[in-house]
Copies of this chain bind each other. A is one copy, B any other.
Amino acid sequence: MKTTVSEKEAVTIGQRNRLQYIILGLLDQRPQTGYDLTKAFDNEIGEFWQAQHSQIYPLLKRLEETGDITHEVTMTGEKLAKKQYQLTPAGHEKLVTWIGEPSPELTALKDEFILKLYFIKTADDPRLQPMLQEQILLHQRQLQHLLHRRETVFADQAAIDQAYGHYLILDHAIEREQHYVQWLERYLTPRKDS
């Protein structure tokens, strides 16, 4: 099959590209700009997925080319053009289909501490206890952060009722950190000094 100069590449986005669904899901809540979406990753989305604006802007362009979203330009002040993106019916359908599909893959957790632990061969390795202590501090701090977020984001039952999934995620993350710290502390041997 010959290709001609004028023939356009078919724009597709792989099913495994999860970022697209986050974008669709966020736009399903309300029309937003690329900048708004980027900020969402600094807040709640950031607890469980990471993305920079350099990934988001190109993907927005591609999602528009595949017909999942459209945009309208609105002006802020005299010169600043903002692109408000919104879902098309096709984009909404894609989101709903994805949520309805099974999620049979286990988390591929990439925890560098766990990786290092694997290469600690004996219980009396002098590096083990400092490593545990460092991780305890890290996860205690993360736990405090998550507890604080639950207090502020889900202060009343109404907040829980209208973002129930988000509440579940936060609840899960809090428990995970609590158990992580408990587990670390169990293998921490008390020091005698000072």
Task: Please give the residue numbers on chain A whose beta carbons come within 8 Å of chain B beta carbons, in ascending order.
Answer: 18, 21-22, 25, 28, 44-45, 48-50, 95, 98-100, 102-123, 125, 127-128, 131, 134-135, 138-139, 142, 161-166, 168-169, 171-172, 175-176, 179-180, 183, 187
User: Interface on chain A toward B: helix, strand, loop, or mixed SS?
Assistant: helix
Given contacts A116-B165, A119-B165, could you give 15 more A-B pairs where the C-beta distance is less than 8 Å? A21-B115, A45-B118, A48-B118, A49-B110, A102-B134, A103-B113, A103-B131, A105-B112, A118-B165, A118-B169, A120-B165, A121-B163, A121-B164, A123-B161, A172-B183
Q: Are A110 and B107 in contact (CB under 8 A)?
A: yes
The distance in angstroms between the C-alpha atoms of A108 and B176, with both chains bound, is 13
